[in-house]
Each structure stands twice: as C-alpha cells, then as structure tokens.
Structure 1
Amino acid sequence: MSHTLEWKTRLHLFEEDGTTKARATLRTGTATLTGHGAAHRNPADPDVPEIGDELAAGRALRDLGQQLLDIAERDVEGVGAPNATETGPETGPVLGWSL
C-alpha cells in the first residue's frame, strides 16, 4: 500500500524585549499543531541574533515534535496496542510501530 503526504510547516521568529521567540505551525490536513520556543540572551554575551533564532526555532520544533509523538502514542494505544510499560522493552515494537 503506497501512502504519500505533504505536511506544511511554518516557522515564525520574532524578537521582543531581548527575547527571541519562535512559533512552529504544522498543518497535516486534518489537524494544526503549534510549537513554541524562546531564547534569552545573557547581557554579558555578544549580540548574535542568529544564535537566538537557532535556539528559539530549535525549541519550537522540539515542542512540535513532542506533540506529534504524544499524539502517535495515544493513537497506537487507541487501536488496542499495549503501551511500552505494559509490554516492556524486550518484546519489541507494538503493531510494527516503535515509539
């Protein structure tokens, strides 16, 4: 069975009061998820905006990724698969999915 999708992700970066903030939005076609991240520069550090952008963006994407993993775990459990604590690591992936 062939399955191909394209999910659109947008990443918005903005600076406000010395803090770089990021918002990552993922549209799957059936849901929209939003991850958030921020970076605060120590006043003693040199002002390098790219570092704040990278940190804030990375944190927003990590937040978004964790949301996707949480949803996938609930979905796997929703189809009747036991969760990892019930099966233990020695039994391997449940229903062919590795969480």
Structure 2
Amino acid sequence: MMHTAVGWHVEMEFQEDDQHTRAAAMVRLPDGTEVRSHGQASRHHTDSNQPRVGEEIAGARALNDLAMQLLGKAHEEIDTDSGRMSHPINV
C-alpha cells in the first residue's frame, strides 16, 4: 500500500468593531479548487470586550460552514463518479 502526503492551505481573516466580529475562511485544495465561507459573532452590550472570544466564535462558525460545504462537494463527486445517490451524514 502506497501512502501519499497531501496538504491543504487554509486562510482565515477577521474584521472587528466594538460589537461584531466577522470571519472569512478559505481552503485551497490540491486540485486548485477554493471553497470559501463566512461566520460572525456579536457581543452583547453587557459583555466585556474580548476580541479573541469573538474571533473564536466567528472563526468556528466559518470553519463549520466550510466543513459542510466540503462534505457536500465530496458527496456530489461520489454521486457523479458512481452514478448513484450517496447519503451524507450530518456532523
């Protein structure tokens, strides 16, 4: 059995103000395909200003969306290649 190392390049950027954090995520796959997603977080006015927490929440939401898009892409490729309907499993 032959093992091949494959790497993905993932980028994450944030935009923040006093109340909101927005995250943009992008993964570049070995075939050149790019998948992009977004996530956001809002700070309640009574919470202390903790930008790192907003980044973690917005980033997690963007990565979760990215994961769901990748699952959908994989199932489309399975369906196209096999000629049958695959059954996605929700995470």
Which secondary structure does the structure 1 equivalent of 2:26 belong to? strand
Q: Secondary structure at the match of 1:20?
A: strand
| Offset at residue 17 of structure 1 (A) | 5.8
Number of residue pairs matched? 86
- Cα root mean square deviation, aligned: 1.7
For 1:31 and 1:16, locate their aligned partners in 2 and report how far apart those are by CA, in whole Å.
Answer: 31
SS for the counterpart of 1:33 is: strand
Q: Would you say the 8 A contact 2:19–2:44 is kept in 1?
A: no
Structure 2: where are the runs of 5+ without partners? none
Q: Following superposition, which runs of at least 4 residues in structure 1 exceed 4 angstroms of deviation? A: none
* Alignment correspondent of 1:27: 28
Alpha-carbon separation, structure 1, partners of 2:17 and 2:69: 25
Return the TM-score normalized by structure 2: 0.83
Which one has a bigger Cα radius of gyration? 1
